Each structure stands twice: as C-alpha cells, then as structure tokens.
Structure 1
Amino acid sequence: MLVKANIFLTFCLKSTQHLICFIRLVLFCFEAVKNNSTMTPRSRVVICLVALTLACQVQSHSWIACSDYAEKNGADWDHTKCRGYPRDAAQFAQKNSFGQDRGFDYRPGADAPGCKTKYSNGAYSSEYPKAIYFPGQQVIIVHPMKNHGADEGCTNKHIPDNANKVYRGRKDTDRDMSFSYYRTTLVADLGVSPVGSAHQASYPKPGYQNAPHFCKNTDRSMGTYSFNVPQELAAGEYTFVWRWSFNGPGDIYSTCFDVIVAPNKASRDSMLLGRGVNNFYVACGGITSGLGAGSRIGCDGGPPPTNPPTTPRIVTTTRAPAPTTPRITQAPTRGPDGSVMKPINIFQMTGDVVLGAPNNGVTRRYVMVRFDCPVQASFWNARLTSASNGHYELVQENPDHIRSGVVFYTANFQGPCNAAMPPHAKLIKDE
C-alpha cells in the first residue's frame, strides 16, 4: 500500500491539479488502511496522518524571503547576500532555514489587509533589517519555489504562473492598508513565466519560475525577480507589496516588505556601511523580470565605452572619512604654489574596474587587480581565482558580467592607505 501511495505522490507532484490530486491521495490512504485487517487502529491513523502531512507540505505556496539580494539570477540561497528582509521575517522567514514553512504564505482578499501582519517596532531588527534602495536602482528580490516550477525534468511544463507585480503605498505612511488600496500604485510588473507550449528550459526567465536549480530541490530552491526602482521616487520610507497570482488571476498571494529609499547610491552605501555591511553590489544592465531594460544607475555612470582602454582605470565611488587626527603614511610633498600638501588616508573604497566593451564572441575575461596597501577586497561580478598580498586574479564567465565591461569591487584596508597609492588593474586576456 505504501508503494502505491508513493507512486500516487509522485504523480501528484507532476500534476497541474495539485489540490484535487492530494485529496484523492488522502482518500486513497484512508480507504486502504480501512480495508487492511492486519493493521492496528493506531497504525491506520499514523499512515493517514503521514499522507495528510505530505499533502500539506507540497501544497505550501510562497512568499518573499529577501527584499534586497546581492546577486541577479542566482541559483542557490546565500543569506550573506541578503541586505534586506520582509516584514516580520525573524518569525516567518528565517535566514538560516530558507523556504521552511512557518505560515508566511498569505492570500489577501480585495478588501482584506494587504499584509499578513501589521507594522510594528519589532517588525525589523539589526539581524532582519529593512531594505535600502535608491531611485533608479535595479533590485533583486527572492522567494522559495515551494514546488511551483514548470520543468519536465522534475514536475511538468504546465505548472501555471499568472501574474507577478510589486505595488507600494505613499511615502512615510500607508503601512497597513487594504490590498485593493496598494494595487492602485504599481512599482513594477515582474512578468509571467512561459509555461505549456511556450515553456522554456533555459534561464533566466521572466515571472515566478526564474530558478535555475529548481529540480535540485523543488520545495526550497531559490527563485529571483529583478526590477527597477522608479527614478522619480522621493527619498523616504515605503511599504512595498509583492503579488503573485498562481492558478489564475484571482489566486493571489502577497508579502509586504518595508523599504527605505535613500536619495542616491552614495547615501545608500553610507547607510549600509553604518549597519556594518560593505557589500555595495548593484545589478547592472541586462533585462528585468518584466523583460524591460535593466537599469545601470549606480553602476559606472552609463554604458561601457565602445573601445576598451589600453590600461583599465579604477573608478572610486565612495571613501570612508579620514580620522580626526590624520596619520601620515609618507613624507609630505609640495604643491605648485610651494605649500605643503597633506596626505589623504583611505580606509575603505568601492568602485569598478573599467575593462571596456568586449569583442564579439568573448566568453571569458581574465583580469588582475593589485592593491599596494594591506587589504581585504571583494569582487561582485567576477570569480576570484587567486589572492596573495593584495594581488587578485579574476575571471568573468557569466555573459551579463562580460557584456557589462566592468568588474565591481569593494576594499577594506587593514590600516590607513595613502590616496597617492591607488590600486592598479590589467586586462590580462580575452578568450
């Protein structure tokens, strides 16, 4: 009987009518144990409860687990890349147990509250902070798949996806409004995943089902969206509301995530640094979940140059303030007017290595970056192949990263580093 139930369960996972299928599974189990005279009453109850549990687990739906993720089109959850969380994530969407069901999925009616929980002072914390955006930023948000992906390798190509959108309330207010109220102000249309005859096996894809490793764990694999924050959005705090329509337009699930909109990227980076976060990654270019052009605001100021420069330059976008009493790292020099020039010490910087646009057909770019001061550096769109005494070797392999023409970095110096000793970079070769 258990073998038959397992076959039935596998069929249900591949079915488009999940609820009907699992009801039949439970009825099958009850009927089977009722007719099995060798089972004790207690054994019959246990087996049927197991069937119910399986049905409930597979029927779980989804929610937003991270409202600011530092990787576009990522495949596997890494909580160190999450810089912002949904409301009450500490209770419902804990970072170390991604995708675990804690009752966070929420189905709002039109006039019901748009958010599962009301806003409170305890909704966020240093461990689960609000996201910080800036106008024009391309943002990545994350959700667990919860078995709702169309993939012939592990489910089927007919798993539906009917709408994915982000709405918002007004600045500094509207934290606990009805779902119909939030729907009047659209932030972004996140597209719809192609299913059925339009199904595509490749990634990335629009809508809910952008999950490259879905078949590795259909329940807890990571799905991501990308969208552009409206450029005209004024600095302040907002409640954003994610809406996903599963089986049909009216089969709606929602999650609220409150965000801080900083005036610009420099302000956002300063606020993140104040939290102890030095990952200033920004998704750059490409396409968004709604198949629009991905913003490059906050990247390198615009598209990469047509012809790559002979020697890549490093653009510094932020510098940490020098201490009140400067520490001199080299002998002072004199300026054109004969006055003594004071050294400027840097403790932290972030920016990009401008490689320039690649030629057609390039599939790998090999880059060297060297810092002359003791440093811990991180790179956000290139893979680190070696690091020794401030000398870093990197390779770009992702097509979007290669097309960007830049490598993004952040550097934390282990002591004061004089600004007269900037880092150096070299494009070793293209393949």
Structure 2
Amino acid sequence: MKLFVALLAVGLPVLAAAHSWIVCTDYLENNGWYWDAAKCRAWPRNAQRYNLRDRVFGTSGGYVHRLDDHPELTPLCNDPRDDANGYQLPMAAYYLGQKVVINHPTNNHVSDAQCNMRGRADTENLMFVVDGDEDPCCIDSDKLIQIMDMGVSPYNHGDVHFSDEFLSTYPKPGFQNAPKYCEDPEDAMGTYNFTIPMDMKPGRHTFVWKWIRVPEVNPFTTCWEADVFATKAERDHHYLHTGRTTEDMWDFYEINTIVDGVIVDPVDPVDPIISG
C-alpha cells in the first residue's frame, strides 16, 4: 500500500500540470521572455474575477477549462458570455489584418533539451471565431469558424528525433514557444500570434482558443470577446478613448540583440499606457 501511495504521489504533479489557458488577449510583445501585466491591453472573460492580472502567472485560480469526458457535449467556454459584467478588465479591440499576440503558461509542457525535456507532446493549436452572438454548444459546433492554425512544436516521439539544439532554439511554432521555459517550467510564459482575417465583418465577435496536448487528453479552451474594426485608425480611436496605447505589438527578437542567451543591445519600445 505504501508503494502504491508513493507512486500515486509521484504521478500527481504531472496530472495537475497538464493544462493551460489564455491569460492576455492583446499582448504587446511577441516571442517575449517574461510575463509583464503592463504589456497586456485586454483580457478574457471574467479575468478580474479569476484575478488573472495580479496572480502569479501560471496559477489558474479555477480558470482552466478542459472539455472533459464528452467534449462534443461539454460547454465550450469556462463561463457563459456576459459582456455587461464579464469585463471589469478591458475587452480586446482588433482591426482587420492585425497580428494579435496572446499568451499562456506552459505548465511543464515544453520539449527543451536545456532542462532535459524532449518528449513533451504538442498536437493541435487552433484559433476560432464564433458565427453569431451566442456561445456554441460544444467543440463540434458548426458555429466555430477556424481562422488560424498556430502550429505544432517540435518534440521527440517514436521515430522522430530532433537535435538538442533544434529543441532549444526559439522562437518556435505552437504551444511551446517559451524561451525561458527551463527557468520555471511550471509558470513560464509562452506566446502565440494570429491574424485577424481581412474578410471578417467588423463588429463584436467571440474568439476561441483550442489546444490539444495529446489525443488522449481532451481539449483545453479559452473564450473572449473583441470589437473588430475595419481599420487601425478606428481601433486606435477606441483604444485612446479607453485609455490604452495604440502601439502595435513588437517582436522581442527584433528589438534585442541576443548572444548566448544574454541581451547585449536592447532597444526599448514605447512605454504602454494600460487601463483597467
């Protein structure tokens, strides 16, 4: 019995860490190293209630949403849509053609040889927009329109063996784009980016992120609303009116010269002005 309990205790941290969620729905830094709440202009549903801005990055406080048991029947979103009460922290605003950066905690699911992890799987990473004003029933709903496949990260599995250098090179596609993962595998920040389609109708839309770690584990999802504008000028007017910076995102690797993992020539972006 003692041996069984010991084995169970060893397994529990892995099971507990098998999750993730989107923290920020309009982040100013693509491919960044560390989470900075001041770089977040917008948040998912009920971010204030779950304290996503101020809690330690990577701790969920109940926000994680996995479509357990029957993903075709489980409600798609962690919380029902309630625009009037769900955005004490501000809602996102995008414009057609914008590259949007979102971020998530890694929760031990990155293959990086620098910390002797090579087989952490990454299966599917998709962005959807919802057709209509009501939440879809489930992940199989025909109201979900895929707008981007954000890629799958490299990892060693079966006969596929990437070199240690390749597994530890950033940026990388998919969920595992977390350059400082080995410093804090549980709470490190990963970033995605997706593009708002030019043919999307301006107006308020619901967006859905879906991640599948491995086929044996049901999907994880995060839902949020955003006002989509036809032009950057219109979006900028809205952000200025709500006290937020109009700067578009910058890329960490374009504004820093990095040698052997150390920044040797940084260029500071404009300081953001964040409401909320």
Instruction: Settle same-fold status: TM greater than 0.5.
Output: yes
- TM-score, normalised by the number of residues in structure 1: 0.53
1:52 CA drift (Å):
8.2
How far apart are the structure 2 equivalents of 1:249 and 1:132? 35
Structure 1: gaps of 5 or more residues: 1-23, 31-47, 287-380, 383-395, 399-406, 413-431
Q: Give yes or no for the alignment of 1:397 onto 2:262.
A: no
> TM-score, length-normalised on structure 2?
0.81
Q: Residue 168 of structure 1 contacts residue 182 of structure 1 at CA under 8 Å; is this kept in 2?
A: no
Matches within 5 A, 1:341-356: none
Say whether the 8 Å CA contact 1:144–1:220 is kept in structure 2. Answer: yes
Aligned to 1:192: 152
Match of 1:134 in 2: 95
Range with bigger deviation, 179-188 or 197-206: 179-188
* 1:217 equivalent in alignment to 2:223: no
Q: Write the distance in 1 (CA, Å) between the matches of 2:171 and 2:248.
A: 19
Structure 1 distance, partners of 2:3, 2:59, is: 23
Counterpart Cα distance in 1 of 2:21 and 2:194: 17
Structure with greater helix percent: 1
* Cα offset, 1:57, TM superposition: 7.6
Distance 1:211 1:224, change over 3 A: same
1:27 paired to 2:27: no
Post-superposition offset of 1:228: 1.0
- Work out the number of aligned pairs and report it: 253
How far apart in 2 are the matches of 1:275 and 1:158?
Answer: 44
Instruction: Output the CA distance in 2 between the equivalents of 1:212 and 1:28.
Output: 35
- Taking the aligned partners of 2:58 and 2:42, their CA distance within structure 1 comes to 16
Relative to structure 1, is the Cα distance of residues 114 and 247 closer, same or farther in structure 2, using a 3 angstrom cutoff? same
The residue aligned with 2:85 is: 122
Aligned counterpart for 2:202 among listed residues 232, 235, 259: 235
Partner of residue 61 from structure 2, selected from 82, 102, 105: 102
CA deviation map 1:175-205 (0-9, x unaligned): 3542211674101100000110135210000
Work out the percentage of aligned pairs sharing the same amino acid: 31
Name the structure, 1 or 2, with higher relative contact order (CA <8 Å, separation 6+): 2
Residue 75 of structure 1 and its aligned partner are, at CA, apart by 0.9
Max radius of gyration: which structure?
1
Whether the aligned pair in 2 keeps the contact of 1:159 and 1:195 (CA below 8 Å) is yes
| Alpha-carbon separation, structure 2, partners of 1:157 and 1:122 | 43
Find the counterpart in structure 1 of residue 261 from structure 2: none
Deviations 1:252-290 (A, max 9, x none): 111111111012111111111111112522358x9xxxx
Report the residue type matching 1:230 in the other structure.
Answer: P
- SS in structure 2 of the partner of residue 179 of structure 1: coil
Report deviation, 1:170: 2.0
Q: Contact 2:76–2:135 at 8 Å: present in 1 too?
A: no
**Amino acid paired to 1:64:** I
Q: Are the aligned partners of 1:146 and 1:221 in contact in 2 as well (CA < 8 Å)?
A: yes
Match of 1:163 among 124, 131, 147: 124
- What is the aligned-residue RMSD (CA, Å)? 3.1
CA contact (8 A) 1:175 1:238 kept: no
Aligned partner of 1:324 in structure 2 is: none
